[in-house]
Amino acid sequence: MEVQERVQAAALSPLLNQIVAPGDVVLDLTKAGKVVRLGGGLRQDGDSIVVTRAGRLRHTKPNKYWVEGSQKRYVPNLEDGVIGIVTDRRFEAFSLDIGAPTFATLPILAFEGATRRNAPNLQAVSNKSSGFGPLKNGYIFDCSTGLARSLLSKPMCPVLEALGKRLSYEIAVGLNGRVWVNAEEPSTIVAVSNAILAAEFLTPAQQHIMVARIMETMQ
């Protein structure tokens, strides 16, 4: 859900990048200085922004806040890039499984260059995405939302950096905890998928060591 509130002063939350818990007040809107956009884990209560789930408070420009945590079940948030699986096609929209409590709807005309005469022909259960365009071939697997965010972080996640130096592959990551991997060799797809899943609770140094060991088993 997105909330917008116009205010007059300018200040970032003192809890930025810290662990917060439900009920914590992270921002006073009377001091925020500009339009504030709220992502997952936050809600507006009068002139205050309050935490609704545990995690780490994050901020990005122009002025968006959210609570970054790790969940097995994805809770949809506005502007999240997700990977969805087509489950049904209706007259002007696709029904997508995005791993949330309810299905998402993707209008056919939302695709770049799509018209009613030139609509994308996506089939049910065909591993397509609602944020990146159709994803052909490859392999999709689920991970925690926390791992998905780390894969999308900058600088590049250590496990992806290590894999990229050794293997040639394609990857797309959805904030809903879905990852698509494709490569010419099935063994590469398996290696990349296993490395990503194994990296969640490892330090950067441990991730590099783990990738090196996986590469040894492929030789």
Instruction: For residue 1, tell me if it sits in a domain.
Output: no
Average pLDDT across the chain, whole number? 83
| CATH number, domain containing residue 27 | 2.40.50.100
Q: What does the pLDDT average to over 98-121?
A: 72
Instruction: For residue 146, tell me if it sits in a domain.
Output: yes
Query: What pairing do the DSSP bridges indicate for beta strands 139-142 and 178-182?
Result: antiparallel
Instruction: For residue 165, tell me if it sits in a domain.
Output: yes
Closest CA to 95 of 84, 79, 81, 83: 84
pLDDT for the residue 93: 84
Q: Is the pLDDT of residue 180 over 90?
A: yes
- Domain end: 68, 85, 100, which one? 68
pLDDT in tens, 21-78: 999 999 988 877 678 888 888 999 998 999 998 888 988 888 888 888 877 778 887 7
Residues 6+ away with beta carbon under 8 Å from 74: 82, 98, 99, 100, 145, 175, 176, 177
pLDDT for the residue 136: 84
Instruction: For residue 104, tell me if it sits in a domain.
Output: no
Q: For the whole model, what pTM was predicted?
A: 0.73
Instruction: For residue 57, tell me if it sits in a domain.
Output: yes
pLDDT for the residue 115: 57
pLDDT for the residue 161: 96
pLDDT in tens, 127-159: 444 445 778 889 999 999 889 989 998 889 999
Instruction: For residue 109, tell me if it sits in a domain.
Output: no
Residue 180 near residue 138, CB atoms below 8 Å: yes
The count of structural domains within the chain is 2
Calculate what percentage of the chain has a pLDDT beyond 70.
84
Task: Residue 183: give the domain boundaries.
Answer: 139-218
Determine the length of the chain.
Answer: 219
pLDDT for the residue 3: 45
Each residue of 26-52: b (16+ CB within 10 Å) or e? bbebeebeeebbbbbbbebeeeebbbe
Give the full edge-to-edge strand order of the sheet including 55-60: 19-20, 55-60, 64-68, 37-38
Instruction: For residue 60, tell me if it sits in a domain.
Output: yes
Instruction: For residue 11, tell me if it sits in a domain.
Output: no
Q: What does the pLDDT average to over 16-21?
A: 90
- Domain end: 28, 44, 68, which one? 68
- Domain end: 50, 68, 86, which one? 68
| CATH number, domain containing residue 200 | 3.30.1370.10
